[in-house]
């Protein structure tokens, strides 16, 4: 399960490092490069949320 969480953390990082140097086409009214950045922002948040649900961190001293 921890491997899935690590994979969900790495995929958005790799995707956000790719360089897309296009203005055309427009997607949802935005130039493609802005859409690409916004897409990876949303996908990163979704991946981190899923990772948190799959592998929550339990703090010492707190009751569940």
Burial environment of residue 55 by CB neighbours within 10 A (0 to 12, 13 to 18, 19 or more): middle
**Which is more confidently placed, 61 or 59?**
59
Handedness of CA 2, 39, 45, 10 (dihedral sign): positive
- pTM tops 0.75, yes or no: no
* SS3 (DSSP) at 43: helix
**Is residue 58 predicted with pLDDT exceeding 70?**
no
> For residues 2 and 43, what is the distance between their CA atoms, to the nearest angstrom?
19
Measure the CA–CA gap between 39 and 60, rounded to whole angstroms: 36
Confidence of residue 59 (pLDDT cuts 50, 70, 90): low
């Amino acid at each position: 399960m921890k491997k899935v969480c690590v994979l969900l953390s790495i995929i958005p990082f790799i995707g956000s490092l790719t360089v897309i140097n296009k203005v055309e086409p427009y997607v949802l009214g935005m130039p493609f490069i802005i859409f690409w950045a916004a897409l990876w922002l949303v996908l990163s948040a979704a991946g981190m949320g899923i990772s948190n649900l799959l592998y929550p961190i339990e703090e010492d001293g707190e009751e569940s």
